[in-house]
Structure 1
């Protein structure tokens, strides 16, 4: 068993991850970042939970870019094929659950 305080987690680079668990075909990671990710489309579902800080989640819906402001406790469920990019505002710690080897 291990315990950690997500609010104290940092990494050596933006989107650096601490692998917390591997659950059959999924990974659970704690990410820290102070820089945006890149626009991408996952090949499987993803659950994205802001634990500390805030994230502006940019996503495409019906050809338009929309933004949802995520604060601690807010959950974003991404389906396979959803184009999105996360922008920390200004720094965030995020719990991500996704398929192993997901793009």
Structure 2
């Protein structure tokens, strides 16, 4: 049993994470960042939940780049093959659920 105060979590580096659970190869991790990630495609599906802060999520649909601003409580679902990148606006804390070892 563990209680995690997500708003208090901070890493020494951008996209640093606290591993919360691994359930049959599906990981749940809490990330802190103040820097953009990199364009990538996950090995499977990904659920990306903004717990604190604001994140601009850029993604490609049919080869066309689009973006959406995610605020606290918003969820981005990346289906298999969705190319995307997260750009926080200041500090952000994000809960990510994805296949173990995914990018």
| Structure 2, gaps ≥5 residues long | none
Aligned length: 103
d(CA) in 2 for partners of 1:67, 1:90? 17
d(CA) in 1 for partners of 2:27, 2:4? 17
Alignment correspondent of 1:62: 62
Alignment correspondent of 1:86: 86
1:7 is the counterpart of 2:12: no
Structure 1 segments (4+ residues) deviating >6 Å: none
CA RMSD of aligned residues (A): 0.7
Q: TM-score, normalised by structure 1?
A: 0.96
| Structure 1, gaps ≥5 residues long | none
Q: TM-score, normalised by structure 2?
A: 0.96
